[in-house]
Amino acid sequence: MIRKVLFIALFPVMMIGCQDQDAKDNEEDALVTLMTLDPGHFHAGLVQKNMYPEVDPVAYVYAPEGDEVDQHLAMIDQFNSRSEAPTSWVEEVYRGDDFAEKMFSEKPGNVMVVAGNNQKKTDYILRAVENDIHVYSDKPMAINGANFEKLKEAFRVADEKGLLVYDIMTERFEITTILQRELSNFEEIFGKVADSSPEDPAITKESVHHFSKMVSGSPLRRPAWFFDVEQQGTGIVDVSTHLVDLIMWSLFPEENLQPTDSKITRARQWVTKLNQEQFEKVTGLASFPSYLENNIVDDELHVFANGEIDFQLRDIHAKASVIWDFEAPEGGGDTHYSIFRGTKSNLVIRQDESTQFEPELYVEPLGTFDREEWDEAMEQVIAEINNKFPGLEIEETIDGYRIDIPDHYKVGHEAHFAQVTEQFLEYMKEGNIPEWEKNYMLTKYHITTGAYEMSKE
């Protein structure tokens, strides 16, 4: 299945080209009809940034009245009306407080898309499979230990009924992450995975996000509940889902990791502080809602958005850290740092001011190294990887090498949603999700929700 994933990552233009077809010609043969439930997060809209031959262009939305569904529909309208490769979605919308009851009783589609308030998300997932509906879910699918128990039940029911439950792991399609894993397979430059400990993990991933940001060219408006950890979840169970997934995907690709293969050694979380002016900028609200009052200290909102998990996968130690700041520096954006330690070199992804906030991949040999010998080894490795990713080059740095990646591989976060959706549709065609994918989901939510429960202690 990795071959398919890499093919999608290599040729995103082919997928986006699907939108040039007349989707309505495929309506009778559509494999999927989408039902979006309470779209409170912009990720729900990004699922529909492109058209897919397998997906009915008529999509259904069930939501309460309010700005969130309006913003979702405005995003779809923006995709439909853009000048370049416009989409052709037709949105059938039901608004009302009984939106969930209405969707589960009418069931006009066969796939529930859920991206929004996480407080009831696990309940919706379980209820969907109980009602013979496939699930395509934004992360996180569980935000605490009780949710995780329900999620396990949802997977059991889905297996029993032959249904798919899948979460949207966009970061597997980021090119530097793909190449970091590729390079770790070459023992001549990476060696083996280095010995590790809680103090010196073999692989570390850190992600920095921002409450105020631009999405599809417009300032992002966040719902007020996004800042309530009882509804959104803390950072340790939210963005950390991606980081834990990538660590598993890098260390044990397509292996059937079980929750029992993992152990949490340490977990902690801390707050990001927002003043009223900052809160109003991203929500449009002039005051804090009453449900946030217990989190206001000295006129500032304290949000447990930051978290760190030290954990083991089998005998290898790893660390995942997520940080939320209010706003990126000028010219900046969300960032990612990753180091994968080998016995011969470290494979490092940096995305900060030194890289103009673009992710860059480095190979940094350990200790004193012979440049001539390493030049030859790197050229051989890159030549082999170029069979999959033509155009890669290497550039010498003081500490080793930078992988020069052509721009056409750097499709961006929003385009990754089409790539993940193509993978989901491939699984729909096959009629099942590979066992390793199911076990990845159960293991990573075991880790993130377990870390959350530990951090409260």
User: Does 396 lie in the same domain as 254?
Assistant: yes
With vertex at residue 122, the alpha carbon angle to CA 118 and CA 123, rounded to the nearest 5 degrees, is 110
pTM as predicted: 0.90
φ/ψ of residue 96, rounded to 5: 165, 160
Share of the chain above pLDDT 70, in %: 94
Whether 72 and 219 map to the same domain: the answer is no
Q: Which of 119, 142, 170 is the last residue of a domain?
A: 170
Last residue of a domain, one of 136, 170, 204: 170
110: helix, strand or coil: coil
Q: CATH number of the domain that 56 lies in?
A: 3.40.50.720
144-189 pLDDT, tens per residue? Answer: 999 999 999 999 999 999 999 999 999 999 999 999 999 999 999 9
CA of 346: how far to CAs of 208, 317, 400, in Å? Answer: 21, 15, 10
Please check whether residues 166 and 186 belong to one and the same domain: no
Does some domain include residue 452? no
Among 50-59, 206-215, 420-429, the range scoring the smallest mean pLDDT is 206-215
Q: What is the pLDDT of residues 348-376, one digit of tens each?
A: 999 988 898 899 999 999 999 999 999 99
Task: Flag whether 453 is in a domain.
Answer: no
Same domain, 229 and 153: no
**Burial of 428 from C-beta contacts in 10 A (0-12 / 13-18 / 19+):** buried
How far is the C-alpha of 111 from the C-alpha of 136, rounded, in Å?
A: 7
Which CATH number does the domain housing residue 369 bear?
3.30.360
Residues 110 and 207 in one domain: no
Q: Which domain holds residue 188?
A: 172-414
357 shares its domain with 247: yes
At residue 220 the predicted structure's pLDDT band, cuts being 50, 70 and 90, is confident
Task: Name the β-bridge partners of 350.
Answer: 360
Q: Do 279 and 146 sit in the same domain of this protein?
A: no
Contact 270, 262 (CB under 8 A): no
Split into its structural domains, the chain has a count of 2
179 in the same domain as 159: no
Model pLDDT, residue 217 = 76
Q: Which of 151, 131, 135 lies closest to 143 in space, CA to CA? A: 151
* CA dist 265 → 65, 248, 300, 312, 365 (Å): 44, 16, 32, 7, 29
Residues belonging to the chain: 457
- Does residue 76 surpass a pLDDT of 90? yes
In whole angstroms, what is the distance from residue 192 CA to residue 183 CA?
Answer: 11
Mean pLDDT for 258-279 is: 97
Both 337 and 190 in a single domain? yes
Contacts of 454 (CB under 8 A, 6+ apart): 264, 266, 267
Among 150, 170, 190, the domain boundary falls at: 170
Query: For residue 276, what pLDDT band results from cuts at 50, 70 and 90?
Result: very high
What confidence category does residue 15 fall into, taking pLDDT thresholds of 50, 70 and 90?
Answer: very low
Query: pLDDT at position 12, please?
Result: 39
Number of helical (H) and strand (E) elements in the chain, helices listed first: 14, 18
Same domain, 50 and 74: yes
Distance CA 295, CA 304 (A): 9
In the chain, the N- to C-terminal Cα span, in Å, equals 40
